[in-house]
A = this chain, B = another copy of it.
Amino acid sequence: MNEIISETLDQWHKFVEAPSIAILHGILDENVNFHSPFVWKPKVGKMITIGILMTVTEVFENFRYIREIIGDSQLCLEFEANVGELTLRGVDLIQLNEDGKIMDFEVMIRPANGLQMLGAEVGNRLAAKGLI
């Protein structure tokens, strides 16, 4: 694993352990594209992506990564988490730019009932914050 990926991944792991806007500010590109598991069209920009990621961390319980596949400038991080009574799995597909900043962040979730419950929980919170 090259140094740039390693540093960003370390910071991301710190964020997952203790969510912090400051950490996200340090590792997200200004024009990051965020592809949610729910809708096709990406959200663009650091501020909305921070808002979404901070919100999602409120909803997941027992979040843990179970598999990491590391490429040259890309990461595939698979997680398991609980939402309410359900257990779900997901992947974070992360593309870094040459400075090690995250320029593309895509999330997919299975199974369908977990995706649905997550969507309801996250949607309510984003709407309450005026983010969607």
Contacts and interface: CB of A to CB of B under 8 A. Distances in A.
Copies of the chain in the assembly: 2
A110 B111 contact: no
B93 A36 contact: no
Interface of A: 35-40, 67, 69-71, 74-76, 78, 87, 89-91, 93, 106-116, 119
Contacts of A108: 89-91, 108-110
A29 B62 CA distance: 31
A71 B69 contact: yes
A90 B90 CA distance: 11
Nearest to A68: B71
A116 B119 CA distance: 14
